[in-house]
Structure 1
Amino acid sequence: MKVQIDSGRCQGHGRCYDLVPDLFGEDDEGYGTVLGDGDGDGVVPSGKEHDALLAASNCPERAINVLKEA
């Protein structure tokens, strides 16, 4: 599973990084960024899938895309 943030939709509410700070962070202006497994590619570590879905469902702008890999 991977997560991405649509920077055009993100308004900087911060719910993603408040809820799941080990998957999401904030940039210098307070907009969400993806941390993922640490290398910035958005891969959700094993066992954190529920957290990624929680963050996505709590984003007011629906700016978080969850990509389920086959």
Structure 2
Amino acid sequence: MIRLRVKEVAEEKGMSMRKLVTTANIAYNTLRTIYRDPYREVSTATLNKLAKALDVPATMLIEEATQPQIEDNEN
């Protein structure tokens, strides 16, 4: 499972959502969706725009996430 790190990287860079939307030339709703659901699929074009706006490689914006483990409480 892939997880997007856009929000974390933007915060590290001190870039607001509005600034990122303007710099990356993407829709505000697209970025808001990515911030709210980092597991959502995005196009490579959007990912590349975000990476360029944040001045990082696109690979820095994604990470492999492990599935959360569900505890079995049956006895």
Scaled to the shorter chain, the TM-score interval is 0.3 to 0.5
Structure 2 length normalisation: TM-score?
0.44
**Structure having the larger proportion of residues in strand:** 1
Structure (1 or 2) with the larger CA radius of gyration = 2
Structure with the higher helix share, 1 or 2? 2
TM-score normalised by the chain length of structure 1 = 0.46
